[in-house]
């Protein structure tokens, strides 16, 4: 009798584990996005799978099966928060089986636009797929207040209406957040090498 009970418990445990693996391992990308969409404003997080797909849909970006060749340009992004540079992670916009037209390959801060069609892409689309808040008053969880300011500069020149900024070849983009009384030396250019 003990043997039958032991076997029954083992079989039930195995069936339970199989059901859990099936339920949690076979989600559609949309279901994964809904479940994983809680990671926001974490500069080190690289959305993947369903979360990336959901972020791309919010940004108006298609999931491509491979990098496009009709448009191929690069920009460099620097983010400085309270005097400290923020690393831009590798593989933002890259997932198993698909890729965004806007993506990173490494941690250099170089944004790649590799699209099958020529059209305008904005910086806000990149931040939406990364799941980091960005507009004229905030970068991630850092918001403009009575003591802090936010500056976005392109090639060393401050701009406004940052959300709609159209990315251009060889832009040096700096997003600076810090003390309201500071006057940062904005980055004017970036040395693109290796055919970029």
On the question of pLDDT at 52 being above 60, the answer is yes
In a domain, 9, yes or no: yes
Supply the pLDDT for residue 171. 97
CA separation for the pair 9, 71 (Å, rounded): 59
Supply the pLDDT for residue 38. 55
Cβ proximity of 186 and 154 under 8 Å: no
Query: In the predicted model, what is the mean pLDDT of residues 23-42?
Result: 54
Confidence of residue 40 (pLDDT cuts 50, 70, 90): confident
CA separation for the pair 80, 76 (Å, rounded): 13
Task: Compare 24 and 100 and report the one with higher pLDDT.
Answer: 100
Supply the pLDDT for residue 112. 97
Q: What is the DSSP letter of 122?
A: B
In a domain, 186, yes or no: no
What total number of domains does the chain contain? 2
Average pLDDT, the chain: 86
Instruction: Tokens for 43, please give them.
Output: 């500069």
Supply the pLDDT for residue 2. 57
CA separation for the pair 12, 85 (Å, rounded): 53
CA separation for the pair 140, 148 (Å, rounded): 14
- Provide the domain limits for residue 5: 1-31
On the question of pLDDT at 31 being above 70, the answer is no
Phi, psi of 72 (to 5 degrees): -145, 95
On the question of pLDDT at 36 being above 70, the answer is no
In a domain, 101, yes or no: yes
Same domain, 98 and 166: yes
Same domain, 1 and 45: no
Confidence of residue 20 (pLDDT cuts 50, 70, 90): very low
Report the residue count for the chain: 196
Q: What is the DSSP letter of 91?
A: T
Structure confidence by residue, pLDDT tens digits, 55-82: 999 999 999 999 999 999 999 999 999 9
The count of other CB atoms within 10 Å of the CB of residue 94 is 18
Confidence of residue 7 (pLDDT cuts 50, 70, 90): low
On the question of pLDDT at 5 being above 60, the answer is no
In a domain, 43, yes or no: yes
Confidence of residue 1 (pLDDT cuts 50, 70, 90): low
In a domain, 11, yes or no: yes
Same domain, 11 and 93: no
């Amino acid at each position: 009798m003990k043997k039958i009970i032991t076997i029954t418990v083992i079989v039930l445990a195995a069936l339970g584990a199989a059901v859990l693996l099936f339920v949690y391992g076979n989600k559609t990308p949309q279901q994964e996005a809904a479940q994983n969409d809680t990671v926001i404003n974490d500069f080190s997080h690289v959305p993947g799978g369903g979360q990336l797909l959901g972020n791309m849909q919010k940004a108006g970006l298609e999931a491509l099966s491979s990098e496009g060749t009709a448009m191929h340009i690069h920009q460099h992004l620097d983010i400085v928060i309270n005097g400290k540079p923020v690393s831009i992670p590798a593989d933002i916009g890259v997932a198993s089986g698909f890729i965004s037209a806007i993506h990173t390959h490494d941690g250099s801060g170089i944004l790649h636009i590799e699209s099958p069609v020529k059209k305008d892409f904005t910086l806000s689309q990149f931040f939406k797929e990364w799941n980091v808040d960005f507009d004229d008053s905030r970068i991630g969880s850092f918001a403009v207040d009575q003591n802090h300011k936010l500056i976005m500069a392109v090639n060393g020149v401050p701009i406004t209406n940052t959300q709609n900024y159209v990315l251009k070849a060889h832009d040096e983009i700096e997003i600076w957040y810090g003390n309201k009384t500071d006057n940062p030396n904005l980055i004017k250019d970036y040395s693109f090498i290796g055919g970029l």
